[in-house]
Structure 1
Amino acid sequence: MSYPALVGALDSDDTFHARQLHWAAPHRTVTDLRTIWTTTFHRDLTATRQALLNHDWALLCPSCHHGRLLGTAFLVPGVGHALRDTGPAIHGNLHWPTADVAKPEWMYLLHEPSEQVLVYEATVHRRWLPHSSHRLDPDQPPPVLGCGGHRRDGHRWQPAQVTLLGPPTPTLASYHAEVCTAPHPRGFAIARFTDDVADQIATHSQNAAPPWGPPLPRLRRDGTEFDLVWTNATVRVARDHDGRLLIGAHLLPWQNASHDGSHPA
Structure 2
Amino acid sequence: MSTPTLIGVAAFRGRYTARYIQFGEDPEVLVPLLRRIWTDTFGRDTDAMAAALLARNWWSLAVNPKPRRWDRQLPVPGLGYPATGENDTVRQGSLREAVDGFLEWLYLLHLDQRRLVVYEATVHGRWLRHSAHHLDPVEDLFVTEPALDEGGPGMTVCTVCGAVDEIDHVEVPSMAGYGYDTATSCTRCGSSVATDPMFGDRVTRKPWPPHAPKTGDATGSTR
Q: TM-score, normalised by structure 1?
A: 0.50
Counterparts of 1:69 and 1:111 in 2: how far apart (Å)? 36
Counterparts of 1:140 and 1:57 in 2: how far apart (Å)? 33
Q: CA deviation at 1:71?
A: 4.2
2:146 counterpart (154, 157, 162): 154
Q: Contact 1:55/1:86 (CA < 8 Å) preserved in 2?
A: no
**One-letter amino acid of the structure 2 residue matched with residue 34 of structure 1:** R
From the superposition, tell whether residues 41 and 141 of structure 1 become closer, same or farther in structure 2 (CA, over 3 Å).
Answer: farther
Q: Contact 1:116/1:134 (CA < 8 Å) preserved in 2?
A: yes
Indicate the RMSD between aligned Cα atoms, in angstroms: 2.7
From the superposition, tell whether residues 129 and 69 of structure 1 become closer, same or farther in structure 2 (CA, over 3 Å).
Answer: farther
1:15 aligned partner: 15
Q: Contact 2:7/2:107 (CA < 8 Å) preserved in 1?
A: yes
Counterparts of 2:22 and 2:70 in 1: how far apart (Å)? 11
From the superposition, tell whether residues 140 and 11 of structure 1 become closer, same or farther in structure 2 (CA, over 3 Å).
Answer: farther
1:106 aligned partner: 105
| Local SS of the residue matching 1:29 | helix
Query: Tell me, which stretches of 5 or more residues in structure 1 are unaligned?
Result: 143-149, 156-181, 184-265
Q: CA deviation at 1:140?
A: 5.3
1:41 aligned partner: 42
Map of 1:77-88 to 2, 5 A cutoff? 77-84=77-84, 85-88=86-89
Query: Tell me, which stretches of 5 or more residues in structure 2 are unaligned?
Result: 148-152, 155-223
Q: Contact 1:69/1:75 (CA < 8 Å) preserved in 2?
A: no
- How many residue pairs match? The answer is 148
Counterparts of 1:108 and 1:154 in 2: how far apart (Å)? 18
Q: TM-score, normalised by structure 2?
A: 0.59
Q: CA deviation at 1:67?
A: 1.4
